[in-house]
Structures are given as structure tokens and as C-alpha cells.
Chains A and B, each alone.
Chain A
């Protein structure tokens, strides 16, 4: 009875806010780190990698606390499975960002100058998709009626990332700037992994739309 009368959701709301901040910060750090790596500043990129690792650790702690509080406080029992699935999906984005920056730092790919702008553009599009997704997640909790606008924007950035992915792949394999096949494959691999961030954002946006429909009375 006490559980019902006392509104304990404020605590959980703060936990989710902190978790979302970790995701946003890690995706922005990923962008900075990737840009530095494209320029050849690998020391700075390494620092970003360490910062993202720390954010990932904190995000995991927040996620565990969220799961505990959702169930222990019996909050939103009819939609808590959806809520947890959504937030758990965001954790995959941090993991992907961390793996990407780690691989760039370790393998130090040489990106031809003529492709650097496109690499930065695809990274920016993917990070923008994640950023808009996080805004959408906040809206899912705080103002569900304006969610669809964010979802449309996530789709938009994902499409942009897809178009850039195609363009870069064509450049890699059709131009003579990159000669060795192994290097071609390596660059293609990075492009796919960077675009994967926007794909993850798009998948979560689709799921969020389903969760919204389930909440309509």
C-alpha cells in the first residue's frame, strides 16, 4: 500500500536521465575521437577511447540500477519490459562506439585525403542519428505525443549515413587511390562499422514507435 501512495518514480527518472547522458556523451566523444584519428592524432583518439570506456562502465551501472528500480518499485508494470528493452538497446550503441574507436586506434587505418571529408560526414550522420534518438527516448518518457518527429529525423540521418556508406564504398573500390585489396577491405570494414551506429539507432526508433502504439488506449 505504501508503495502505491508514495511516488518513487523520481529516483528512477534521475537514473534514466544520467544513463541517457552517458549514451549522448559517448557518441559525441566517439565523433571527436574518430575525427582526430582521421587526422592522424592517435594519442588524442586514445584518450577519447579511455573516456568512452569509462562512460560505458558508468552506463552499465546505471542500467543495472534502472532494472532493479523498475522491478523493485513496481513502476509501469505493463510497459517495463519495453522500457528495459529500449534502454538495453541503447547500451549496444555505447558498446559499438567503444569498439569502433578501439579498432581505429589499434589498426590506425590510413584514410586517403580525398575521402577524409566523407568519413567525417558519415561519422557525423551516424552520431546525429544517435543524438536524435536519445532526444526521442527522452520524449518517449516525458512527452510521448511529440515522439514521431524525432523518429522521422532518426530515419533521415540513417538514410544519409546509408547514402554516404554507398558513396565511400564505391570510391574505395572504383578509384585507384587505394591500391591494395587488403586496405580496400579494411576501409570498407570501418565504413560499415561506423554506419552501424545509425542502423542501431534506426532499429531502436522503430521499436520505440511500437512501444508508443502499445501505450495508446
Chain B
């Protein structure tokens, strides 16, 4: 069991780093501009990420499971670890890297190594979702920008009352953002362990069974929440006063837009609703929140007249799209080879 938990540790590390970095996208401006205290932000993020992961995290997790059904724990360990290492090195290089792209690259590396068939329909669906993430976030932020502008230009409200409303809205949007992050990105943390979960179903009372997937989602969600609480403060402060210096209202628009995108790509209920109405379903795919944020900020730039679009940053995203899965895939392939031939562990069955 201890060995099994050790193999799970790479996923938990991934969750921890995701929490440390991505919570800043949700509460960075609010905390950086002192609208919301860090403790409040950390508690709300932690609780809602966990709730999102537990209640609605199964959809995107299933998609990653479908891309590569890793049936050996050491293999899952390597896939998760190499994705995490890729994120670390790409972050150091200053690229707005996505955990989703890293984990997909690592899974593809495993597929090649194990000779498993890659489901290209799933892969195209995932790649399409990545492409649409910043675009959709930009569209949402343009719409929200004009909506907020129209409201603020036509209401007569005291500055302090408006400030209070914005503060409350930032908290609510942050809770929604944390929930969306949990439900969408939990797949990156535990998706590869779905077929090899070290847990067994636990019967709680007469009616309730805590399934091994739910336990996996809980640990994954908890690792993200711990990442938020233990390490996200500095990142939040950097975002609040650094490159993404936004006003509280624009921060609210950015959080809402990027969170809506994550929600769209993770909600099973929404997908079922669209199918029931005979409309095309939105695929359940883990997407990058950071790239959603960049898209949303660009959207505001467009809405303001296009002068503020950071084309260099957008270029970096495109490079990240190509480089992240490629690097993660190659690293995963090499690491699987070492794990199999040096440490003599079965990385696929």
C-alpha cells in the first residue's frame, strides 16, 4: 500500500503545484489589490476546488482516461511526474504553460511507448478545446466588458457601495472560479490514475458507497487545495501588482470569463442538457485556466480598442501549445524506458 501511495505522490505533487499557481488566476488581483484578504481567498479557493473536484470532476477525468488507459501504477507515476517536471521547466522559461497540455503530452508518450492505440477523436477534441479556450474567454470578456461598462455608466451609486458590491462579486466569482478549476483541472491530477487507483470502494453506512474514483478525486482536490493554502500567496501578490495589474472590475470580468470557459468544458449536466435539446455537445476536456485568463485579458484589450493586446504573450501561448505536449511526450517516453529497464518496473500491461 505504501508503494502504491508513493506512486500516487507524483499526481499529488501535480495537484499541489496546480493549486499554488492557478488559484492566483482566480484571486490574484483581489488579493494583490487588498480587496480580499489572502486567508479568505485561500479558504474559499480550497473549499470550492475540493467541491468542484468531488462533485463534478468525473467528466474531464473520464476524457483523459479515454485518451490513455494506463493500467500499471509505475506507468501512471511516470506520466504524472514527467508532466509536472515539464510544467516546472516551461514555467522557468517564462511560458504560460498548461497542466492539461503537459499531461496529454505525457499520456501520448506512454501510448507510443506501450504501443497503445491513441484515440485520435478524443485527441482532436482535446486540441480543439485548447484552441477555443482563449478564444471563448476573449469573447466572454468582450461581452462582459460592454455589459459592465453600460451598467456603470448608467447607474447612480456611491463609490463605497460600488466598492462593496465589487468586493462581494469578486468573492462569488472567485468561488465559482475555484469550483470550475476543481471540476475541470482535477483530471490533470488524477486522470492517469483512474484505471489503477490504489483505493478500494468503502461502504459508509447502509446506503452510501465511497467509490475508489471519489477517493481519488478527494485526494487530488485536497492536494490542489493544499497547494493554494501553502504556496499561492506569493503568486497572488505578483499577479496583483505585477504584469496582470487590473482594476477590480476588469479582474472580475477576467475571472468570470475564464471560469465560464472551464465550467463549459467540464459540466456534465450542461453537456447532457445540450444533447437533450438536440444541440452539439461541448466536450468534457481539461483546459488551461492561465490561457483562459490571457484570452480574457486580450478580450478586454480588444473591447477597449485593440491597443492593449499583448501579441508577444499570445505568441508565447501558441509556442506553449506546441512545445508543452511535445516536451512532456518525449520526457515521458524516455522516463518510461528508464523505469522499465533500469528500475525494472512494469509501466504498462
Chain A interfacial positions (CB closer than 8 Å to B):
1, 4-5, 7, 9, 12-13, 74-79, 83, 140-145, 215, 217
Contact = CB atoms under 8 A, between A and B. Distances in A.
A76 B159 contact: yes
Interface in B141-192: 145, 148-149, 152-154, 156, 158-161, 163-164, 167-168, 171
A189 B149 CA distance: 48
A7 B163 CA distance: 10
Interface in B3-52: 33-36, 40
Given A1-B40, A4-B171, A78-B247, A217 B159 contact: no
A9 B168 CA distance: 14
Interface of B: 33-36, 40, 145, 148-149, 152-154, 156, 158-161, 163-164, 167-168, 171, 247-250, 253
Q: Residue among B156, B163, B253 with the most chain A CB within 10 A? A: B163
Contacts of A141: 158-160
A217 B163 contact: no
Contact of B163 (A76, A142, A144): A76
A67 to B, nearest CB: 15
Nearest to B148: A217
Contact of A4 (B148, B149, B167, B249): B167
A77 B163 CA distance: 9
Nearest to A6: B164
Contact of B160 (A4, A5, A75, A78): A75
Nearest to A146: B156
Q: Residue among B145, B148, B153 with the most chain A CB within 10 A? A: B153
Given A217-B152, A217-B247, A217-B250, A9 B34 contact: no
A144 B160 CA distance: 12
Q: Residue among B40, B160, B250 with the most chain A CB within 10 A? A: B160
Given A4-B171, A217-B145, A13 B249 contact: no
Contact of A12 (B35, B145, B149, B160): B160
Contacts of A215: 159, 247
19 contacts: A4-B36, A5-B168, A7-B161, A7-B164, A9-B158, A76-B159, A76-B163, A77-B34, A77-B35, A78-B247, A79-B163, A142-B159, A143-B156, A145-B153, A145-B154, A215-B247, A217-B148, A217-B152, A217-B253
Contact of A78 (B33, B149, B152, B171): B33
A13 B153 contact: no
Majority secondary structure of chain B interface residues (helix, strand, loop or mixed): helix
Contacts of B148: 217
Nearest to B164: A7
Contacts of A79: 159, 163
A217 B149 contact: yes
Contacts of A83: 159
A77 B33 contact: yes
Contacts of A76: 159-160, 163
A140 B159 contact: yes
A9 B160 contact: yes
A86 to B, nearest CB: 11
A142 B158 contact: yes
A47 to B, nearest CB: 36
Contact of A75 (B40, B149, B152, B163): B163
B300 to A, nearest CB: 8
Contacts of B35: 74, 77-78
A76 B34 CA distance: 9
Contacts of A7: 161, 164
A178 B248 CA distance: 60
Contacts of A74: 34-35
A1 B34 CA distance: 13
Contacts of A77: 33-35
B240 to A, nearest CB: 10
Contacts of A144: 159
A182 B231 CA distance: 71
Contact of A9 (B153, B164, B171): B164
Nearest to B248: A78
A215 B160 CA distance: 13
Contacts of B152: 217
Given A9-B161, A9-B163, A217-B149, A4 B168 contact: yes
A120 B156 CA distance: 37
A83 B162 CA distance: 15
A40 to B, nearest CB: 46
B29 to A, nearest CB: 9
Contacts of A75: 160, 163-164
B247 to A, nearest CB: 6
A40 B164 CA distance: 52
B73 to A, nearest CB: 41
Given A77-B35, A217-B145, A4 B159 contact: no
